[in-house]
Amino acid sequence: MTIWDRIMNLDRRWIYLCIAVVVIIPAVVSFKVPVATTPEVKKVFDFVDKMQPGECFYLGIDYDPSALAELDPMTYAILNQAFSKDLKVIIGCLSQFGVGMAETRLAEMSAKYGKKSGEDYCFLGYRPYPAICILTMGVDFRVTFPLDYYGVPLDSLPVMNGIKNLMDVKGVVDITAGNVADFWITYGNGRFGFPVALGVTGVMSADYYQYLQSGQIFGLISGIKGAAEYEELSGFETTGMESIPYQTLSHAVILLFIIISNVGYFATRGRKGK
Amino acid sequence: MTTAELLWNTLAAILTLCVFSFLIKDNPFYKFAERLVAGVAAGFWTMLLYHTNFHDKVVLTMQNGQWAYIIPILLGIGMWTRFSKNYAWMSRFSIAFYMGISTGVSIPVFMYTNIFKQVSATMIPFDGTVNVLVIIGVLCSLFYFFFSKAHTGTFGLVSRIGIYTLMIGFGAGFGMTVMGRVALLVQRVIFMKDYFIGLFGG
Amino acid sequence: MKKQIPIYFVLVSGIVMIIQYFIPSEESEWLFTYANDWVIVIGIFALALGIWSLLRSEFKKLKNPKEAFYAGTVLFGYFIMVFTALTREGREAGTLHMNLFNNILIPIQATIFALLAFYIASAAYRAFRARTVLATILLLAAFIVMLRLIPLGPLSAINQTAVGWILAVPNMAAKRAITMGVGLGAIATCIKIILGIERTYLGHD
Amino acid sequence: MARKSVLTFFILAFAFAGLDAQEASMGALGPPPAAPSNVKAPDKPNDTGHGLLVKWDLSRDDGAGLDNVLAYEVWRSDAADGEYTKRGVAVKGTSEYDDTDDSERVNDEPNPDFIVTGKTYYYKVRAMAGGTAYSDFSEPGSGQAVENWYHKGKTPIMIGVIIFWAFVVYFIFKARQGQEFYVRPLAGINAVDDAIGRATEMGRPILFVLGTGTAGDIATIAGFTILSRVAKLTAEYQTPVLVPVNDPVIMAVAQETVRTAYLEAGRPELYKPENISYETAMQFPYVAAVNGIMLREKTATNFYMGIFHAESLILAETGNIAGSIQISGTDQISQLPFFIAATDYTLIGEELYAASAYLSKEPVQVGTLKAQDWAKAVLMAVLLAGAVLISLAIPFLKNLVDVNL
C-alpha cells in the first residue's frame, strides 16, 4: 500500500478535522487574511472614488435586519467613503424595513464627519411601489418625495439645489436583499439609462452576474465577500472582514484536498496502467 | 446569565456536541439527540397545526357556519378509515381530491413560471458573444433532455455541448454554496465559544 | 366502483382547477382558496395517521430493552411538547414549550445544518476527480468558483472575470434549460394523473 | 423585457401617501399648464370587478407647448357634481391610471375607497406643473367596474396548455394503436435493476426517500410513480423497501402505492405498512432520523426521488458512509450539484419525471415521453425564432410569450 493508495482511500474524518481546525482557529485567535478584490466591486469603489467634492450620487438602502450581516458593512463603507470625500448623497428606501435602519446608520456616519442633513446629504425616507418611485424619481425627485424624511420640503434643501431628477446625479448604488434590485435594472437603467450598481446578498449574487455581463449594471458587491472587498479597498472596516479568515481558510482546505485527490488519482492510475 | 438561562444554554450546547459527534461515527449520544429531536419536532408540529390550521379551518369555519367546509372536513375524517382494514378504501376519495386539486392547480402555474417566463427571458437579441452563447447553451441543454433520439452523430454532439453546459452550471452551483455552508458552521462554533466564555469568563 | 369513482374525482377536480386559473372573477378566486383549504384540511386530519404510526412504533420498541431508552426519549419529547402547548398561551414566548423549542429543536436543527460544511468538503474530495470528461468539467467549474476566495494577486482579476462569466453564461443557460425541462415533465406528470394513466397511488383490491 | 413591461407599468396603479399639492409647494409659480381632456373610466379588464382604468388625453403642455407638466392627479367621486377625493398620481406622458381597491373592509372598518362592482364612479384629472401650478380640472368622465369571466392576458398560457395536452393525448392514442416509440437509455434508470439485485444479494433492505416536499408537489408525485415501479421489483426479489416520510399524506399515498405494487407483483403477503413510516415533521429532525435508518438498518440501496433542500448532501454523504449504492433525482436546481457529486446516479430535472415511464415500459407511458419531446422541439423553435426576430427588432413573438398577469 503506497502513500497514494492511502490518499485515495483517505478516511473522511481527516478532512472533517481540517475543516474543524480552520473554523475554530479564527474563532479563538483573531487575525486578518487579505481578500482578493474583484473588478465588479472595484468599479463601484472607483465610481465613488473618482467623484469630485460636491458631486452627488443616490444610495438606496433596501434591506431588513435579516440581511444585516452581509449588507451593513457595504452601507458603512460607502457612506464613510462619500462623507470623507465631501460628496453629496441622496439616500432613499424603496423597501419598507430599510428606513429605520438607514436612519440610524446615517445618523452614526454623519455625526462622525459632522455632516448635516439637507446640506451634505438628503434622506428621502420610504415610499411604496418601487417601480413607480424609480420612474417618478427619473422625472423629478419632488414628485416622489415632496418632503424629505424629516418633513422638510426638498426645494428648501441646499443639497438638492440643481438636482431635479436621477439624471442629475452621477449614478445609483442600491444595497438590497430583495427584488428592488430588479426594479432598478428594469426601470432605472432600462428606462432612463442611468448607471446602476448593486450590493446584494451572497445567495442572490449568482442571478445578477448576467446583468453585469450585459452592462445593465456597472458594478456588483455580492455578499460578505464583496463587503470585505469594499472594506479592503476603502480602508474602512466594520464587520465585513471578520468572516473572511474562516471563508478563505476553509475554501483553501477544500481546494487543497481536491488537488491532493487528483494527484493521487493520476498517480495510482498511472501505476495501474503499467 | 441567570441560572435558568445557563441551564437552557447548557442543554443546547450539549445537544450541539451530540450532533457533531456524528462526524466521528454513529454513537449513542447522537442517537439520543436524534430521537429526542424527532419527538420534539413531531410534538411541536402537532400543536402548531392544531392551533393554526385545525383551529382556523375546522373549528372556526364550523363556529362561523361556513358549511361549505363540511365537505373537506368529511374528506379529512375519511382519511381515518385507514385505521381500519375493511374501510381503508374510503380514504382514496380524499386522496383523489388531494391529487386532483394539486395537479390541476400546478399545470397552468408550471406553464407560466417554468415555460413562458424562461422562454421570454431567453428571447434576447443576438448581439454580443454572451447573448449568443446563452441562447446556444439553453438550446443544447434542452436538447440533452430529448428522450426519443439516440445521442449519436450530430445529435450526440449537440447534446454533449448541452451536458457540458449543465455540468459547468452544477460545478458553479457547488462552488458558490461552500461559503454559505461554512457560515452556518461558523455560527455554531461562535455559539459554543460564547457559551464557554459565559461559563468561565463571565 | 371503489377504483373508478376516485379516478373521476381526480379528473373533475383537476379540470376544474385548470379552468379556474383562467377566470379572474370573485367566485373563481373563492373557489381557489376553498380548494386549497381542502388540501390543508385533509392534511390536518391525516396528521393523526402519521402521529399514530410514529407513536405505535415507538411504544412497540419500549418492550425491546435495547431500544427502550431511545423510544422513551421520542415519547418524552413528543408528549412534553404536546402537554406544554395545550392552550394557545402555551406557545407564547418565554413559556416552557418555546424554551424547549429554542433550546432543543433550534440548536439540533442548526447543528445538523452545519454538518454540511464538513460534508461539502468530503464530497468535493471524493467526487472532484478527473475520471471522465464530465467529471473534469464539473471539477474545473467548481474549482474556479471556489478559488475566488483565495487571494492570488494579479491572477485574482482573471479568476474573478472567469467566475462572472461562468455564472452569467453557462450557469444561466443550464438553469433555464433545466427549469423548462422540469416544467414539461411536471405538466406531463399532472396530465397523466388527471387522465388516470398513472393511478397506482390510488391502490386497488 | 424592458419595453413592454415599462409600458404596462405606466398603466399600473400607484398611490402616494402624503403626496399632497400643498406640501409640494416650492419655487416660483409658473403659468399653469392646460388641462387634460376627454376623461374616460372604462372597466379594468381581467379582474374581479373592483378596478377602473382611468384614461385621458394629455395636456397640450405635456412634452410640447409650455412643456411644464410633471404629473397628473386623478380625483374620484360618487356623483358627477359630488365631492371629489384624490386617488393618485401618474407621471407625465402617461394617459392611464389604474384605480383598484378590492378590500371591502380595512382594520374591521368599512373602506371608503372600496370600488363596488357595477356602481358608477366619476373621475376628474388635472395636470401638475413644477411648483404649485395646476391646470384646471378636466370635465368628469365616468365608468363602472365589471366582474370579468375570462382573463385575456392568460390566453397564451391556455394555448400552451392545450397544445401540450394535445401532444400527450395524441401520443397516448398512437401508443394504444400499437405504435412503439424508441427511447434512449438513461444510466440512472439502467442502474435501478442492478441496485435492487445488489440489495437482494446482500440480504439488506432498500431505502426510498420521497424528499421534504408535500404530497401535492409534482416532484413528490413523480417520486410516488417511481416508488411504484421500484416496489414492484422489490416485491419480485422479496427485498423489503423502507419508506420513511415526513408528511402524513405522503405516508398514506406511499402506503397505497407500495401495497398496489405488491399486489401487482403477486406478493401481497409481503407488504408491511409499518415499513412506510412517519418519522417526524420538519426538515432536519427528519433528516437525522433517516440518517439513523441508513446506518442502523444498513440499507444496501438508497433512492432519493422528489423535492430536496439543503438535506440532499447530508443524506447522500451519510449514505456514502454506510456504503450504499445511491440513485437520486430532483427538480431542485440548487441541490442537483450535490446529488451529482455525492450519489452514484442522478436523474436531472425532467429525467425525474420521465423515470416512471422508463421503468414501467408501458407503451402509453413511453408515448408521453414522445409528447414531451415534441413540446421541447416546439419550445426550441419558438425560442430561436423569437431571438432572431428580436434581433431584427420585431418584438412580435417576444410580446406573445411575455405574459403579464
Q: Which residues pair with residue D75 across a beta bridge?
A: D86, D124
Q: Which is nearest to D263 in space by CA: D239, D244, D236, D242?
A: D236
Q: Find cell 416544467 and name the residue.
A: C183
Q: Which residues are CB-contacts of B16 (< 8 A; sequence separation ≥ 6)?
A: B188, B191, B192, C107, C108, C110, C111
Residues in CB range of D13: below 8 A, 6 or more apart? D88, D97, D98, D99, D100
Q: What pLDDT is attached to residue D120?
A: 94
Tell me which of C100, C127, C154 is where a domain ends.
C127
Q: Does residue D156 carry a pLDDT above 50? A: yes
Strand order in the sheet with D345-348: D276-278, D241-245, D206-211, D301-307, D325-330, D345-348
Residue that terminates a domain, selected from C127, C150, C179: C127
Q: Report the pLDDT value the prediction gives residue D89, as an integer from 0 to 100.
A: 82
- pLDDT digits 0-9 by tens, D95-151: 999 998 888 888 888 988 899 999 999 999 999 886 567 899 999 999 999 999 999
For chain D, the structural domain boundaries read 2-149, 180-361
Q: Are residues C3 and C32 in the same domain?
A: yes
Kindly state whether residues C64 and C106 are assigned to the same domain: no
Name chain A contacts of C130, Cβ cutoff 8 Å. Answer: 262, 265-266
- Determine the residue type at A165: N
Residue B97, C-alpha cell as written in the block? 381530491
Q: How many CA atoms lie within 13 A of D195 on its CB side?
A: 26
Question: Cell numbers 419536532 correspond to what residue?
Answer: B41
Cell numbers 441496485 correspond to: D195
Q: Is there a domain that residue C67 lies in?
A: yes
Strand order in A219-222's β-sheet?
Answer: A121-126, A88-93, A56-62, A172-176, A196-200, A219-222
**Listed range (A60-74, B174-188, D313-327) with the worst mean pLDDT:** A60-74
Bridge partners (DSSP) listed for residue D326:
D302
C101 contacts chain B (CB < 8 A): yes
Of residues B42, B44, B175, nearest to C145 (C-beta) = B175
* Residue C38 shares a structural domain with residue C54: yes
User: Containing domain of residue C43, as a range?
Assistant: 1-83
Neighbouring C-alpha atoms within 13 Å toward the C-beta of B151: 20
What average pLDDT does this structure show over C43-52? Answer: 95
Residue D303, helix vs strand vs coil: strand
Residue D146, helix vs strand vs coil: coil
Q: What is the count of structural domains for chain C?
A: 2
Grade residue C154 by pLDDT with cuts at 50, 70 and 90.
Answer: confident
Q: Give yes or no for a contact between D7 and D82, defined as CB atoms under 8 angstroms apart.
A: no
More confident residue, D254 or D93: D254
From D333, D33, B78, D150, select the one nearest C179 (Cα to Cα). D333
Q: Which of C79, C71, C75, C113 is nearest to C96 (CA)?
A: C79
Average pLDDT over residues B97-114: 95
Among the residue ranges A39-43, D65-69, D381-385, the one predicted with the least confidence is D65-69
Q: What is the pLDDT along chain A (274 residues), one digit of tens a residue?
A: 688 888 888 899 999 999 999 999 999 988 888 888 888 999 999 999 999 999 999 999 999 888 888 899 999 999 999 999 999 999 999 988 788 888 999 999 999 999 999 999 999 999 888 887 888 888 888 888 888 999 899 888 999 988 988 989 999 999 998 889 999 998 888 878 889 999 999 888 888 988 988 889 999 999 899 999 999 999 998 888 888 999 999 999 999 999 999 999 998 887 755 4
Query: Could you give the CA distance from residue A10 to residue A265 in angstroms, rounded to a whole number?
Result: 12
What are D169-197's pLDDT values in tens digits? 999 999 999 999 999 999 999 999 999 99
Residue B78 main-chain phi, psi, to 5 deg: -60, -30
Burial A120-149 (b: 16+ CB within 10 A, else e): bbbbbbbbebbbbbbbbbbbbbbbbbbbbb
Closest CA relative to residue D131, chosen from D17, D14, D31, D15: D31
Window A:183-212, CB contacts with D under 8 Å? 186-187, 190-191
The predicted-structure confidence for D272-286, as pLDDT tens digits, reads as follows: 999 999 999 899 999
CA distance D20 to chain C (A): 34
Q: What is the DSSP letter of D134?
A: B
CATH architecture label of D2-149 = Sandwich (2.60)
- How far CA D267 is from CA of C159, D81, D258, in Å, comes to 59, 82, 11
Rounded Cα gap, residues A266 and A270, in angstroms: 6
Distance (Å, whole) CA A74 – CA A59 = 11
DSSP per residue, A94-151: SSTTHHHHHHHHHHHHHHHHT--BTTTEEEEEE-S-HHHHHHHHHH-HHHH-SB-TTS
Structural domain contains residue C25:
yes
Question: For residue B202, what pLDDT is reported?
Answer: 54
Chain A, 54 to 93: residues with Cβ < 8 Å from chain C are none
Residues from chain D contacting residue B121 (CB–CB below 8 Å): 1
Residue D245: which of D304, D197, D205 has the closest Cα? Answer: D304
What does the block give as the cell for B186? 461558523
Q: What is the 3-state secondary structure (H, E, C) of chain C?
A: CCCHHHHHHHHHHHHHHHHHHCCCCHHHHHHHHHHHHHHHHHHHHHHHHHHHHHHHHHHHHCCCHHHHHHHHHHHHHHHHHHHCCCCHHHHCCCCHHHHHHHHHHHHHHHHHHHHHHHHHHHHHHHHCCCCCHHHHHHHHHHHHHHHHHCCCCCHHHHHHHHHHHHHHCHHHHHHHHHHHHHHHHHHHHHHHHHCCCCCHHHCCC
- Rounded to two decimals, what is the model's pTM? 0.91
pLDDT at D391 (0 to 100): 94
Cell numbers placing A192: 432612463
Kindly list the partner chains of chain A, i.e. chains with 3 or more CB atom pairs below 8 Å.
B, C, D
Q: Is the pLDDT of residue C205 over 70?
A: no
Q: pLDDT above 70 covers what percent of chain C?
A: 99
- Residue C51 sits in the same domain as residue C96: no
Of A24, A202, A254, the CB nearest to B180: A202
- pLDDT at position D25 is 38
- Kindly tell me if the per-residue pLDDT of D10 is higher than 70: no
Q: Which letter does DSSP use for residue A207 in this model?
A: T
Domains by residue range for chain A, with CATH:
3-31+252-273 (no CATH), 39-238 (3.40.50)
Same domain? C27 vs C78:
yes
Res D6: pLDDT: 36
CATH of D180-361, one of 2.60.40, 3.30.70, 3.10.620, 3.40.50: 3.40.50
**Chain B residues near residue C76 by CB distance under 8 angstroms:** 36, 39
Q: Which of A154-163, A205-214, B83-92, C111-120 has the highest mean pLDDT?
A: C111-120
Nearest residue of D to residue B172, measured between CA atoms: D337
Q: How far apart are CA D102 and CA D113, in angstroms?
A: 9
Query: pLDDT for C171-194, tens place per residue?
Result: 999 999 999 999 999 999 999 999
Residue D16: pLDDT over 80 = no
Confidence (pLDDT) at D405: 74
Going by the DSSP 8-state scheme, the letter that residue D382 receives in this structure is H
pLDDT attached to residue D4: 37
- Quick one: how far is CA B153 from the chain centroid? 39
Contact residues, chain B, for A22 at CB < 8 Å: none
Are A12 and D321 inside 8 Å of each other by CB? yes
C190: in domain: no
Quick one: cell of A18?
481540517
How far are the Cα atoms of B58, C44, D226, D245 from residue B92, in angstroms, in the given order? 21, 16, 20, 19
Determine the residue among A25, A28, A213, A225 to mutate to test chain B binding: the one whose Cβ has the most chain B Cβ atoms within 10 Å.
A213
What residue type is assigned to position B83 of the chain? Answer: F
So what's the ipTM on this one? 0.92
CB pair distance less than 8 Å for A132 and D70: no
- Please tell me the least confidently modeled range out of A217-221, B94-98, D15-19, D201-205: D15-19
Query: pLDDT, tens digit, for every residue of D26-64?
Result: 344 578 899 999 999 999 999 889 999 999 999 998 888
pLDDT of residue C93: 85
C7 is a domain residue? yes
Do residues C93 and C62 both lie within one domain? no
Give the tens place of pLDDT for each residue, B68-81: 999 999 999 999 99
